[in-house]
Amino acid sequence: MKQPPEQLVLHARHAMGNKVVGKALVARDGLSARYDLDRLQGVFSRPDHKLAGQSYVDRILVLDTAKGGVASAWMLHEMRARNMAPLAIVFNSVNTILVQGAALGDIAMLAGFDQDVTSLVPHGARVEIDPQAKTLRVLQAADDGSPADASGSAAGNGSAAVPLRPMHKPG
């Protein structure tokens, strides 16, 4: 009888929030709540973002680094208030602004790994984020069986980029 493959468990140096389980969106790219996301539609909207066109709502984002200033912090809170937030955010490196935003928006966060988390976690995998234990555990491989893509490319995922629109009309 074949033994099931050993689960991948990654340990973070920094963690906060509640334990969550969900589908991972993985890319070797950054996150700016202000410039990368369409917060009304719940998708990555910057055309050159590796997750462009994909919904981040109720997903676990596994990304390289946090980008952005104070606007990103209140935007994460606003996204949670409208039920348009990710379940968790996982970074190789994070800035204090995104940490504040995740805390304000009650979004679980892990950061600071010994290896590049974006090259280890398969895009589309079912993962568990446990901030108390400071762990990310891959529970189930991606639906399509694809391995992690070290480039973080979301190519071939069947999604199209969403064009950027102004949030307000000039005038």
Q: Where are the domains of the chain?
A: 9-140
Question: What sign does the dihedral 54-56-58-61 (CA atoms) show?
Answer: positive
How far, in Å, CA of 55 to CA of 39, rounded? Answer: 10
Highest averaged pLDDT of the listed ranges 32-36, 37-41, 50-54: 50-54
Compute the radius of gyration of the chain from its Cα atoms. 16
The reported pTM is: 0.81
Binned at pLDDT 50, 70 and 90, residue 130 comes out as very high
How far, in Å, CA of 60 to CA of 85, rounded? Answer: 10
Q: What is the pLDDT of residue 171?
A: 41
What's the chain's average pLDDT? Answer: 83
Binned at pLDDT 50, 70 and 90, residue 14 comes out as very high
Mean pLDDT of the 43-65 span: 96
Mean pLDDT of the 132-142 span: 95
> Which is the CATH superfamily of the domain at 9-140?
Phosphohistidine domain (3.50.30.10)
3-state SS class at 8:
coil
